[in-house]
Amino acid sequence: GQLEGTSLPLFFGWFLLSPAKEKICCTSMDFLKTLDTLEAFKKHLNDFTQGADKEVDLEQYFKSKGPLHCTTKFCNYGKEDGAKEYAQNPLLLWPADAEKEVEGASSLPLGSRAHVTLGCAEGVEPVQTGLDLLEILAVQQGGQKGELVEEMELGSLSYYGEGRWLLSLREPIRTPACFSSVYG
């Protein structure tokens, strides 16, 4: 019935708490600032601005929406497959099917899609970042290492083609978080 449908949230996830939350925003802005100056990055810029040949200011290009979080299960108020099962099973953190949406990623361990969306270009839905992550993991699983482009203070920056960049952090960034759900 309708009531049953609306009792499930838009999504469940971990919500990052202060002050780590602010620190992560600053770190990502600093990263974009540095990225903006790298010749190797500029060389491939067209791969993800899809030919728009105007200057791109990365700090403006990516817009963040809402609180920083790591989605564990997107339920879409119960319309998404497995939403009800997820909500009813308190021990299951990562759904079984989140990695299946990208070809070549279905054999990755549960939770491989875990990520915090820091920002998206205009017109790009936040769901895209998880799919991008799975794509890179699938390429890596296929034995491709990517092209190591720059050793940065934060970590190693590699290029996987088609606008896919990966920064592998030297040190993990730890943050306290609160598990909750959003009804939106």
The single residue among 130, 139, 158, 166 that binds ligand 2AM, judged by CB under 6 A, is: 130
The single residue among 17, 52, 124, 127 that binds ligand 2AM, judged by CB under 6 A, is: 127
Rounded Cα gap, residues 113 and 157, in angstroms: 20
Nearest in space to 31 (alpha carbons), one of 62, 2, 3, 66: 62
Shortest spacing between CB 129 and ligand 2AM, in angstroms:
5
Is 44 labeled as catalytic in the residue annotation? no
Q: Taking CB under 6 A as the rule, does residue 28 contact ligand 2AM?
A: no
Q: What is the dihedral of CA 77, 82, 86, 89, to 10 degrees?
A: 130
- Is there a contact between 5 and 78 (Cβ–Cβ < 8 Å)? yes
Q: Taking CB under 6 A as the rule, does residue 10 contact ligand 2AM?
A: yes
Residue with tokens 């009792």: 7
Q: Taking CB under 6 A as the rule, does residue 11 contact ligand 2AM?
A: yes
Residues interacting with ligand 2AM, by CB under 6 A?
10-11, 71, 74, 117, 126-127, 129-130
Q: Which of the residues are catalytic?
A: 69, 115
